[in-house]
Amino acid sequence: MKTIFLVISLAELIFFGIFFSLVPLEVFAGVNETNVTVTTLLDVGNVYPEVLNVSVNDGNDISLTPNSTKLVSCVALIRDWNGDGDIKNVSARFFDNSASSYSDSDDNNSHYTNTSCFINTSFGSWNGVSDDAYLALANCTIGVWYYANPGTWNCSIMVNDTYDWTGFGSNTTQIQQLLALGLPDTINYGTVNATYVSNENITNVTNYGNVIINLSLSGYAISPGDGLAMNCTVGSIKNISIEHEKYNLTASNPGPLTLAQTSPLYINLTSNVVVKEFNLNYRHNDTYNEAINATYWRIYVPVGVAGTCKGNIVFGATQAPES
């Protein structure tokens, strides 16, 4: 009987304990007291993810690559207090701060997008921050074309959680000016008789940078500054003087010409570097490269040279003054 009584008593105690744990206890003010303190309770459900820090290109300015893309990395430190497993997607938009904005469409001059950045929930440590259950590191890589505008660029990061709640963060960097041009590797005048002027050679110059350029020009046969346009394999003098190689940067003059006729139409090449106005804009069309302009060349063959002749023309890009 004692055992049965103890079991019943224990069951009653458990029942009352469960019952009163579900029913809030009342608190009373004491004698001569008018205030009662009530404890408040809350369980927080979903919270917004946060972008704590954004680093662009490891904090360095961006030097673009002529006629190619440069891989730029936007790295974001992200926190979600629901746990790093709640992070669903991270995207990045990289844009020219003065010529574009976050919501603009992509354009190789001014705006790039990565819609699916790599999310690392076990990164160990980054910039002195140790990984934990709430932190993740997102790496957003973007291939930036050589003709992207120079200046201040913004990398904006958006993070989505499983509720599609979002967090934002951003940082800026500098894209440096790029002076670069491209030409064919040879200018071939063909076969030209002595005392004749060659046919006009048309040589295209392509702007592979991100600024408007003028041209610097000089020439030599054997070594820079030698005053020669070409050196020939045989002949009594074997050299063509530099002034016999001529160019026009604005207009074509087709058809056969005498040496006298070329004088008002073409400029003599020199061994000294000369900067000439060319105003070749950089590329703005993503479909085809329109940043191309023609140059026009002729050479006069004097008496005393024969065989095969070879020389060098040095083309350089200089930034054109802003209008």
Clarify whether residues 187 and 246 are in a common domain.
yes
In one-letter notation, the amino acid at residue 146 is Y
The answer to whether residue 16 scores a pLDDT higher than 60 is no
Clarify whether residues 199 and 299 are in a common domain.
yes
How high is the pLDDT of residue 33? 74
Does the CA dihedral 282-285-286-289 come out positive or negative? negative
Q: Is residue 35 part of a domain?
A: no
Indicate the burial class of 282 (C-beta count within 10 angstroms; 0-12, 13-18, 19 or more): buried
> What are the strands of the beta sheet with 213-220, ordered from one edge?
239-241, 228-234, 306-319, 213-220, 274-280
The answer to whether residue 9 scores a pLDDT higher than 90 is no
Q: Is residue 15 part of a domain?
A: no
What confidence tens digit (pLDDT) does each residue in 197-206 have?
999 999 999 9
Clarify whether residues 200 and 310 are in a common domain.
yes
Clarify whether residues 226 and 114 are in a common domain.
no
Structurally, the chain folds into a number of domains equal to: 2
- Range from 261-265, 286-290, 293-297, 318-322 carrying the lowest mean pLDDT: 318-322
Clarify whether residues 202 and 94 are in a common domain.
no
Clarify whether residues 161 and 207 are in a common domain.
no
pTM across the whole model: 0.85
Say how many C-beta atoms besides its own lie within 10 A of residue 108's C-beta. Answer: 18
What confidence tens digit (pLDDT) does each residue in 61-110 have?
999 999 999 999 999 999 999 999 999 999 999 999 999 999 999 999 99
Range of the domain at 131: 50-175
How high is the pLDDT of residue 322? 72
How high is the pLDDT of residue 14? 55
Q: Is residue 16 part of a domain?
A: no
Last residue of a domain, one of 158, 175, 192: 175
Clarify whether residues 142 and 226 are in a common domain.
no
Please say whether the beta carbons of 167 and 177 come within 8 A.
no
What confidence tens digit (pLDDT) does each residue in 269-280 have?
999 999 999 999
Indicate the average pLDDT of the chain. 93
The answer to whether residue 15 scores a pLDDT higher than 90 is no
What confidence tens digit (pLDDT) does each residue in 158-186 have?
999 999 999 999 999 999 999 999 999 99
How high is the pLDDT of residue 108? 98
Clarify whether residues 204 and 164 are in a common domain.
no
Say how many C-beta atoms besides its own lie within 10 A of residue 1's C-beta. Answer: 5
Clarify whether residues 163 and 189 are in a common domain.
no
User: Looking at residue 65, which CATH number applies to its domain?
Assistant: 2.60.40.2550
Clarify whether residues 156 and 254 are in a common domain.
no
What confidence tens digit (pLDDT) does each residue in 211-267 have?
999 999 999 999 999 999 999 999 999 999 999 999 999 999 999 999 999 999 999
Does the CA dihedral 248-250-255-261 come out positive or negative? negative
- Higher-confidence position of 4 and 289: 289
**CA-based nearest residue to 275, from 313, 320, 229, 223:** 320
Query: What percentage of the chain reaches a pLDDT higher than 70?
Result: 90
Clarify whether residues 133 and 207 are in a common domain.
no
Q: Is residue 43 part of a domain?
A: no
User: Looking at residue 262, which CATH number applies to its domain?
Assistant: 2.60.40
Last residue of a domain, one of 124, 143, 175: 175
Query: What percentage of the chain reaches a pLDDT higher than 90?
Result: 88
The distance of Cα 237 from the centroid of its chain, to the nearest Å, equals 52
Please say whether the beta carbons of 219 and 242 come within 8 A.
yes
How high is the pLDDT of residue 312? 98
